Amino acid sequence: MFKTILFPVDGSRESREAAELVINVVKTYTSKLFLLSVVEENKEGAMSSEPQVAKLLQGVKTLFQQQGINAETIEKVGIPSFLICDVADEINADLIIMGCRGLGLTPEKASESVTHRTIELAPCPILIVP
């Protein structure tokens, strides 16, 4: 059912908690897993440098390898919500799994969150992990 899964990661607590669900779904459906992290330039609290993103992706990839899951990593620079949807389309993702809230989000800006915008633009189903 879910042959290809995209898991956008940003180092937030919600992203780390979503990893457990990703492990379960990937193992259940024997899915191919792609990890995506985006350098968002000039954004307070967000991933702001390529070395940070590379380190984050390697750490997450290692977590999945310890569970017997191979994952491909993708690093991008730009607007996260647009890039998540673009990458999902490029890899023909059947499912995007992401945390409900990422780095830099304030309650006042919830409607502008990466998660909210991704839901509006996604080319496939999204599983949001609270």
Q: What is the pLDDT of residue 16?
A: 87
Q: Where are the domains of the chain?
A: 4-129
Q: What is the pLDDT of residue 108?
A: 47
- How far is the C-alpha of 84 from the C-alpha of 91, rounded, in Å? 11
CATH code that applies to domain 4-129: 3.40.50.620
Q: What is the pLDDT of residue 105?
A: 47
What does each of the 130 residues of the chain score in pLDDT, given as a tens digit?
Answer: 899 999 999 888 888 899 999 999 999 999 999 999 988 766 554 555 678 888 889 999 999 999 999 999 999 989 999 999 999 999 999 999 999 865 544 444 555 688 889 999 999 999 999 8
Answering whether pTM is above 0.85, one says yes
How many CB atoms are closer than 10 A to CB 35?
23
Q: What is the pLDDT of residue 53?
A: 80
